[in-house]
Amino acid sequence: MTEGYRESVPVLTFPRQTFVSLLVFALIWEALSYLAPYLGIPPFAIPSLVRIAKSIATITPVDIVVTLARVIAALIVSFLLGIALAMAMYRSDSLDKYLHPMIRLFMAVPVVSWILFAVLWFPGVEFRIAFVLVVVCGPVFLIDTLDAMHGVPRELRHMMQSFRPTTWQYFFKLMLPAIVPTIFTSWKVNISLAIRVVTIAELVGAVTGIGHQTFGGTGAVFRGRRVRLDTGAGGFAVPARGNRRAGRSARVAVARMNGPPPIAVRGLRKVFRQTTTGQSVIAIDRLDLDISPREVVAIVGQTGCGKSTFFDLMIGLEAPTEGFIHIGDKSPHSDFDHFRGKIATVFQQDRLLPWRSALDNARLPLELIGLPEDEQRNRALTWLQRLGLGNFIDAYPHELSGGMRQRVAIARAFSVEPDILLADEAFGHLDEVTAAELRDTFLKLARECGSTAILITHQLEEAISVGDRIVVFGQSAKLLADIHVNRWKKTAYPLLREAIQSTLQSNRADPRLANAS
């Protein structure tokens, strides 16, 4: 016979230990309440449980609504002030340096102290309550938001900055969606905090609210005397990059050049200073380089030789210490906004925004340059289809393979039809079959668009197969060799690879390269 089973239903029990603990606490509380007058403790500080029960019974729906209204209004004001100040501190290191310790100090001040300050500074009851709530909850919103903004991955910030957003675009397209989970958590914490704080703050002369009813009327009792706290009239009645782009409209007309401009690098030097030791580190030292329109140039060099720093300077994210980079007659850093929609980068990792679908990621730079909605969608869709992702336009990054995500990143770069394409080891993390396929696709599309393409790579085979030229960097981006690949026969490619490898290892040009370059 088959034995029957039934699903067990959990039984709610009240642990004996909890009951005993509550009983002991209640007895101790009652004893302290009885002894309070003899110990010089104000009666309101330790009211009897009976008094507490009677006070709670007097709470009306109006009191609850009033208290909740005060909480919600103060939280909204606190949130807006916290967000605004967090943005200002995020954009200004100096402001952050001076205000951060002050905000932390504010957070350490007890609530009761703020209530006393409110009584001294503000004449109106509602002003006092609002002040206490804002000064207690505002710093929590500020610090949570600021920490979340600093926690946005550097890779995503650089990706967004490479497309040259306005300040508001940078915040609303990247920062705000990235910190939404933290904001929700901060709201949950602050709602609980605000309800406790407002109950105390309603002692300051309020005639309605949970705090007023619970503690039995306006005012507070000190040393057996009732003192009015509302003593009448009195008191007293701030890159992304820089401010120069803060007020500009998101809609920016993209004036296309007549073909990509030439790139000239002269005496380029970039020096970083280590924060801990103060020592100077020379990343790029006196680099001279020319790149013609529509050339495909591969840059190779050992790790730490300054390749990525050179790209940051090309994008305009860093300013040269000395020398210059000119694209046409403009500087990518000094004339940052001029190159909006004209320079696009494919990074080593895809750097897709996880809250956006493939289509929305691909059209992100089109949103930043202010194209009409229909054109954004059509352009992004066209490039995704050309890259074989027509059936995955609504998929999110976590639903795509590594190769598919990198295809979306390539579509994102090509969607603006840029004059200059940069690829920073864009295929090195993929398997060889996928990498070779995407490399060929990237090169084909770059030539179709008539873009100048500059690629950083560690793979010598990749550099030889895709580049019109191969630029070999030594330490501190010293130009060791500038090789025109078309001057080498394909049968000599093994010798070319060997000569480049020797150049990288010795940090000086191999003599065999001079014969053909």
| 328 vs 207, higher pLDDT | 328
What amino acid is encoded at 54 in this protein? K
pLDDT in tens, 13-64: 557 788 888 888 888 888 888 887 777 776 666 777 777 776 666 666 776 7
The CA distance from 456 to 425, in Å, is 5
Is 58-227 a CATH 1.10.3720.10 domain?
Answer: yes
pLDDT in tens, 319-347: 999 999 999 999 999 999 999 999 999 98
Helix (H, G, I), strand (E, B), or coil: what is residue 185? helix
Q: In this model, does residue 378 exceed pLDDT 90?
A: yes
Placement of tokens 């085979």 in the chain: 461
The CA distance from 427 to 462, in Å, is 10
Query: Boundaries of CATH 3.40.50.300 in the chain?
Result: 263-342+418-514
Say if residues 86 and 142 touch (Cβ distance below 8 Å). yes
User: Structure tokens of 92?
Assistant: 């200004």
pLDDT, residue 55, reads 65
Question: Rounded to 5 degrees, what are φ and ψ at 109?
Answer: -75, 130
Share of the chain above pLDDT 90, in %: 34
User: Structure tokens of 489?
Assistant: 């026969």
Q: Output the furthest CA–CA distance in the chain (Å, rounded).
A: 104
The CA distance from 147 to 377, in Å, is 34
The CA distance from 133 to 125, in Å, is 13
Q: In this model, does residue 506 exceed pLDDT 90?
A: no
The CA distance from 370 to 357, in Å, is 19
Q: How far is CA 424 from CA 206, 375, 409, 429, 497, in A?
A: 63, 28, 12, 11, 20
Encode 357-368: b = buried (16+ Cβ within 10 Å), e = exposed.
bbbbbbbbbbbb
What amino acid is encoded at 127 in this protein? F
Name the superfamily (CATH) of residues 263-342+418-514. Answer: P-loop containing nucleotide triphosphate hydrolases (3.40.50.300)
Say if residues 165 and 34 touch (Cβ distance below 8 Å). no
pLDDT, residue 14, reads 58
Give ∠ CA 199-203-204 in degrees, rounded to 5: 125
Q: CA dihedral in degrees (305, 311, 317, 321; nearest 10)?
A: 50
pLDDT in tens, 8-24: 555 555 577 888 888 88
Query: 411 CB contacts (<8 Å, ≥6 apart)?
Result: 362, 380, 383, 384, 386, 387, 389
Q: In this model, does residue 88 exceed pLDDT 80?
A: yes
The CA distance from 499 to 510, in Å, is 6
The CA distance from 154 to 149, in Å, is 10
pTM of the model: 0.74
| 208 vs 366, higher pLDDT | 366
pLDDT in tens, 477-501: 888 889 998 888 888 888 999 999 9
Query: Boundaries of CATH 1.10.3720.10 in the chain?
Result: 58-227
Say if residues 480 and 508 touch (Cβ distance below 8 Å). yes
| 260 vs 221, higher pLDDT | 260
pLDDT, residue 449, reads 85
Instruction: Find, among 208, 207, 196, the residue nearest to 132 by Cα.
Output: 196
Instruction: Find, among 153, 142, 136, the residue nearest to 84 by Cα.
Output: 142
Distance of CA 303 to the CA centre of its chain: 27
Q: In this model, does residue 238 exceed pLDDT 70?
A: no
Question: Rounded to 5 degrees, what are φ and ψ at 41?
Answer: -95, 130
Beta bridge partners of 221: 226
pLDDT, residue 357, reads 95
pLDDT, residue 5, reads 47
Placement of tokens 């309603």 in the chain: 202
- Mean pLDDT over residues 292-312, rounded? 89
Say if residues 75 and 187 touch (Cβ distance below 8 Å). yes
Q: What does pLDDT average to over the chain? A: 81
DSSP notation for 343-361: EEEE-SS----TTS-HHHH
Q: Tell me the H-state helices in 335-431.
A: 358-362, 364-368, 373-386, 402-414
